[in-house]
Amino acid sequence: MYAVILAGGSGTRLWPLSRPDRPKPFLPLLGKRTLLRATFDRLVPGLLGPGDVVVVTDRRYAALVLEELPELDHSQVLGEPVGRNTAAAIAYATAAIERPPDDVMVVLPADHLVRDEDAFRALLRGAAALAEGGQPGTGAPPLVTLGIAPTGPEAGYGYIVAAGPRPGGSGALDVVRFVEKPSVDAAAALLAGTASVAWNAGIFAWRRDAIRSALATHAPDIVGAVEAGVRAAAGDPTSLDAAYATLRATSIDYAVMEPASRAGDVAMLRADVGWSDVGSWAALRDVLVADALAAGEPAGVVGYGARRDRGSESTLVMGGGRLVVTIGLRDTIVVDTPDALLVCAADRSQEVRAIAEELARAQEEDR
């Protein structure tokens, strides 16, 4: 078994702290370690050795990856010429990493929280066993995904809809479809319709030959271009750049998992490991509030940096180099950086992405 950590996300929902020069995976949002470092430590040494981990990232961040993970060498950091979403990143990993065809590749994002790390490692071992096709009567090795038990209708997550249990006694469910980030009303309807619905954590396990076959079947344009670019790269370093320039940007869920689930090739294991994607300021606020309450500490205002408060509730303050004072706030996000200040209602923190994208477009137009 080996692991591919995807560290290409821009983290625009965590603007203004997450920026193009140091995006979300490289930020210490949950303590002293960056999210990437915490992800690596979750795998090594409890599950894998350092040599069994590869990071796929934007080429701009290769030096940051090696700075955070000095255990890796340059060959273990695959730098994409440009971001084309997770389908391209996973196709690149399948083409560039030489492992036996039946070896299991675990794929996971670089920037999530997992509280119960022992249970998570045990779950990955179970997912790898299932992906190997070792369960009798299960047929071809499945593509395995982890599903998080929803706590409510959340528009920021994708959803996995499963049917009955797969044969073989593995505890896995057959996946029938994926739903990409529905509206709150649509998510509520999904949750009301069936108990076999889970949040999509973007964590997968599959044999190398199984994912290569699935990519060739469902996304031949992507895997074909990437494999050709990787093969030619030894003689022409620009070949990968040329290949990526032709790729459509799409997620592995749209490109492979959705059609593979319709073909009966996807299995889901339920994951109760204290997971959060820390994908918005409200999500980070919720994590830090839970930590404060568990430690018996006040949870009216949580966060980091120099701050002082009087009477605020459920508020996140990420201070910068100056003191931030809050009085009587409720369900509010405050993020202070040297060149930008964010103040927003927590229930609208998903809209920060739109602001970050507007600012990026404006900067591009000014050049």
Bridge partners (DSSP) listed for residue 316: 302, 333
The two three-digit tokens of residue 265, written as one number: 């090739």
Bridge partners (DSSP) listed for residue 78: 56
CB 212 within 8 A of CB 219: no
Give CATH superfamily name and number for 2-276: Spore Coat Polysaccharide Biosynthesis Protein SpsA; Chain A (3.90.550.10)
Q: Taking the chain, what is the end-to-end CA distance rounded to the nearest angstrom? A: 46
Distance (Å, whole) CA 49 – CA 216: 30
DSSP assignment of 253-297: IIIIIHHHHHTT-EEEEEE-S-EE---SHHHHHHHHHHHHHHTT-
Domain residue spans of the chain: 2-276, 281-366
Distance (Å, whole) CA 219 – CA 90: 12
State yes or no: cis peptide before 237, omega within 30 of 0: no
* Chain centre to alpha carbon of residue 121: 17
Helix residue ranges per DSSP H, 44-116: 62-68, 85-96
Distance (Å, whole) CA 245 – CA 58: 14
Q: Could you give phi then psi for residue 140, rounded to 5 degrees?
A: -65, 150
CB 141 within 8 A of CB 207: yes
pLDDT of residue 138: 46
Distance (Å, whole) CA 344 – CA 352: 9
Buried b / exposed e along 154-185 (16+ C-beta atoms within 10 A)? bebbbbbbbeeebebebebbbbbebbeebeee
CB 5 within 8 A of CB 108: yes
Distance (Å, whole) CA 91 – CA 61: 19
What is the residue-level pLDDT of the chain in tens, covering all 367 positions? 999 999 987 789 999 999 999 999 999 999 899 999 999 999 999 999 999 999 999 999 999 999 999 999 999 999 999 999 999 999 999 999 999 999 999 999 999 999 999 999 999 999 999 999 854 444 578 999 999 999 888 878 899 999 888 877 678 999 999 988 888 888 888 888 776 899 999 999 999 999 999 999 999 999 999 999 999 998 898 999 999 999 999 999 999 999 999 999 999 999 999 999 999 999 999 999 999 999 999 999 999 999 999 999 999 999 988 999 999 999 999 999 999 999 999 999 989 999 999 998 998 887 7
The two three-digit tokens of residue 310, written as one number: 């009087």
Q: Could you give phi then psi for residue 366, rounded to 5 degrees?
A: -75, -15
Which residue has tokens 């998992």?
Answer: 257
Question: How far from 19 is each of 161, 256, 317, 340, 360, CA to CA, in Å?
Answer: 34, 30, 18, 11, 10
